[in-house]
Amino acid sequence: ATIKYIDQAGGETVLAVPAGTSVMQAAINNGLPGIVGECGGSAMCATCHVYVDEHDIHKFEPPGAPEREMLECTSAPLRETSRLGCQLAVREGDMITVRLPESQQ
Ligand code: FES
């Protein structure tokens, strides 16, 4: 699967990752700034906030209750396409684009 991250300045990073990897974990593994992932992926910190591209948002299951609750705590403004990166596991063949918020903390 492929994940493209677009930062606030418009800089793009494309990562090829194995299926099952989360948008947060892929960023951490590759030292990508802009995603913190403080809680390690348990939907407890909201420092992995991303805006999923509107064309890709349907590729993921809708957020569960713990994620919806945590999304209320993001540092950057919440949008309709806001998700916690740690709850977004990519599937084989997926090509996903996410935008990074201006801040995570
Ligand atoms: Fe903490 Fe995603 S890493 S909520």
pLDDT of the chain along its 105 residues, tens only?
Answer: 999 999 999 999 999 999 999 999 999 999 999 999 999 999 999 999 999 999 999 999 999 999 999 999 999 999 999 999 999 999 999 999 999 999 999
Kindly give the pairing relationship between strand 49-52 and strand 82-84. Answer: antiparallel
pLDDT for the residue 69: 97
> What does the alpha-carbon distance between residue 79 and residue 10 come to, in Å, rounded to a whole number?
18
Q: Give the number of other CB atoms < 10 A from CB of residue 1.
A: 18
Ligand 1 centre distance from Cα of residue 29 (Å): 14
**Within 6 Å (CB) of ligand 1, which residues are found?**
24, 37-39, 41, 43-48, 70, 84, 86
Query: Which H or E element spans position 49?
Result: strand 49-52
Nearest residue (CA) to ligand 1, atom 4: 43
CATH, range 2-99: 3.10.20.30
Structural domain boundaries of the chain?
Answer: 2-99
Report the separation in Å between the CA atom of 93 and the middle of ligand 1, taken as the mean of its atom positions: 24
- Cβ-in-10-Å burial (0-12, 13-18, 19+) of 70 comes to buried
Q: Is this model's pTM higher than 0.95 or not?
A: yes
Could you give the ipTM of this predicted complex?
0.99
